[in-house]
Amino acid sequence: MGYTPEERGFVQSLLGAGHRVTAPRQRLLAAVAGLGDQFTAEDLAAAAPGVGRATVFRTLRLMLDLDIVCQVVLDDGTLHYRLTSGGHHHHISCSDCGAVIDFATCDIDDLLGELSRRTGYAIEAHRLEVYGRCAACRGSAGERTRPAAAHA
């Protein structure tokens, strides 16, 4: 069976981590490749008809563990999955259109060290989501509000 380069990467991650590439997983991997770089669990379930929801969620969990996808919580609270090239990173999301950009700079070691000292917690992970309005949305909003402001 032929794989696209993207699917081959997923399959290699699965096999490398000692997981079998079952038929439902194969269907889900193909669906992920077809969905583009960002999708919800519902998108994935809809793109892989016949695969049970429990399997969809289990496979998403597996893809998270294998660093194939990452999670991003948009400003409206919806959870999206994104294909990731791996490594520690965060997201800045547009509150208007939902566009997401990754960034890897997270200079918070001092904060985490201080937090650990103060609370006695061994810090193991952190999440940082940044929200704002992207350049495109700021541009179009600027054009919309300028005439209105002139009338006021």
Q: Residue 70: left if φ>0, alpha if ψ -120 to 50, beta else—which one?
A: beta
Which of 46, 79, 97, 101 is close enough to bind Zn ion by CB under 5 A? 97
Nearest 5°: CA angle at 84, between 131 and 108? 50
Stretch that binds Zn ion, among 32-40, 42-50, 51-59, 84-92 (CB under 5 A): 84-92
Which of 28, 47, 70, 83 is close enough to bind Zn ion by CB under 5 A? 70
Scan for tokens 């350049």, then name that residue: 135
Are the CB atoms for 53 and 45 separated by under 8 Å? yes
Query: Is residue 106 involved in binding Zn ion (CB under 5 A)?
Result: yes
Contact set for Zn ion, span 28-67 (CB under 5 A): none
Q: How far apart are CA 43 and CA 112, in angstroms?
A: 36
Residue with smaller CB distance to Zn ion, 21 or 134: 134
Tokens of 51: 């695969």
| Least distance between Zn ion and beta carbon 74 (Å) | 11
Are the CB atoms for 90 and 128 separated by under 8 Å? yes
Query: Is residue 96 involved in binding Zn ion (CB under 5 A)?
Result: yes
Query: Is residue 94 involved in binding Zn ion (CB under 5 A)?
Result: yes
The residue length of the chain stands at: 152
Tokens of 123: 């810090």
Query: Is residue 73 involved in binding Zn ion (CB under 5 A)?
Result: no
Query: Is residue 100 involved in binding Zn ion (CB under 5 A)?
Result: no
With CB under 5 A, what is the number of residues at the site for Zn ion? 10
Binding site for Zn ion (CB under 5 A): 70, 82, 84, 94, 96-97, 99, 106, 134, 137
